Amino acid sequence: MISIEPSGQRFSNQIHTDPGTPSSRAIHASGNPARGNYICASDAFTRAKCGIEVTSVRARFCDRSGCTRNLSRAEQRGQLVGKGGDSGAPVYNRFGGGAAAARGMEVAGTRRDNLFAHKIREIERHLNVRVLGG
């Protein structure tokens, strides 16, 4: 993960929650997911989906480039929850009519029914940033 420093741009506390619609939610909270929580992801190719259960907060994903540790892993049996090109998608919880809690960023999937994500506090620490809520 890298930080891209834009010049002259302003940011809001909105995340896109379905790139096909488009729709968004305001970030009102943030924090790492816990095992047993249900999360949502808003992917470019597999689109928005919720009800994905966090099964680990200490997962590891390995591919030809090496291994990434300390990820969260979430599963939804029998459902497509991620595929190539979905990396970078926001991982969040919905609450209220249009609010969300930021939980992380999707980085990989190994089967049809699971995804791996950097946890939000890892992203903040790595990039030396803080996710602000409404």
CA dihedral 91, 26, 97, 18 (to 10 degrees): -50
For the chain, the structural domain boundaries read 14-127
Category of 121 on φ-ψ map: left (φ > 0), alpha (ψ -120 to 50) or beta: alpha
Q: What is the pLDDT of residue 78?
A: 85
Q: Write down the residue that tokens 């940033």 correspond to.
A: 129
Cα–Cα dist 111/17, whole Å = 22
Place of tokens 């009800």: 51
pLDDT tens figures, 66-124? 999 999 999 998 887 877 777 888 999 988 888 999 999 998 766 678 889 999 999 99
pLDDT at 74: 93
For 14-127, CATH gives 2.40.10.10
pTM here is: 0.86
Count of CB atoms situated within 10 Å of the CB of 23: 13
